[in-house]
Structure 1
């Protein structure tokens, strides 16, 4: 495959259940050497999209290619694409070593690869010899990541791989994925741990209620996040912004996020006699505030206040 071509290309993926569109015309790409963060509130359609990408859920419309082919048409797909969608979907009666050995046999891999992967994901021989039904969530995540990496793929599609990991495990996961991408691999990573996505992702795709609400490089999206404003009276500030037709959403701790220029916000506050305690580019507040602003109209737990 040409290195300049997308490793993953999602084109108009749609999944409808009757009149309800769980995923609505979603399109994005994942490039070689890039970690792409796939973000959205609970119920936004992330998992459904990823299941359609690997043929587990049939799309109502649209298609996805991985390495230039439909996933189901890839020969021995585990040798090309590593997938982790549910770390709990492992046979509880098999040991971790048996899970990997069976997968290796199906892929045509030798036993030494299993031992290499067990070591890579940080499972001790004793842990690998235990039945997966006794595993903690973090151990199941490590085994699931090992399963995804077993065939030495060039693409990873991972849904919440850090869920259940302790801080040391998250640090390990971060290094593993960064090394994978730096060697030319492509990673699509869904996670609710926004801080981890902010640290590791190169590009972002943000989805809300089944539709893409933003996508692009992390740097560009954060740079266009608008203005963060806080005051001694946020209620009065919200009224002043509303009266001036300045759209705004509640920031993470206090104050508001707005796409309006800082000078416009400052003049509005001054004319209303409101003392500002903070006024700066929202990009400095990081991914969390950007995520809340972008998904304010799409979140199941809508915390939007004063938005126009």
Structure 2
């Protein structure tokens, strides 16, 4: 889809398959603008056709230009802080960065700094973007890898919808204790809170549905370690950690869930790729985050 940022407006050159639809049908059914944003756009005349404010029942023709006001100046919501973040992908609508080790995704308290969100705010400040920092998903403090941020409310809402529909595919690399019996498999076990521990989760029949797929990539028999690839159908808190621990193969370095190996001092988990259809342009996006140095060295030292 042909799009362009023009000041506060997103210009969309209407494709042939929108020909004959009304503006209202396009923004609701074709683009998927949620109700709250639709209401705001109505109140502020935030949609134009061929640079004119017209009724939403106006029929659109191929090669018309539809304008949606979505690039608004907003407070970052966090304090900008120079953390030298690694950008994997960036355009007018979204940002994908490679989160380093021992960094929270976002502040857990209003005055907290030193999080990935603070680093994103600084990056946006440098590049002249004045928008709220909106993370689409999170990674644990000790987990590295690709995280998506949205640059405006529309992109955020559409990405949230995609995440809920499982249209954003995230793949992980992990090093686990022991040798797995099967080269491929699926762990389908519901996850709930552990009433004996404030932060830990556990497999629970009354918990939320959780599905994890795994595939063995490499076996280190001498050290009794397996490198695996993981993909999630759901996104429960600590899902990978809980599921692997439940199978008797906890992550290396994950003391909370039974990891005992001393080969590494933090959980050996990395979100190495993200794949999605761009929420605005509809392009296929595939991004890979290189393995962090300590996990790269770990793999080279394993036997």
> Would you say same fold, with TM above 0.5?
no
TM-score scaled by structure 1?
A: 0.24
More helix by share: 1
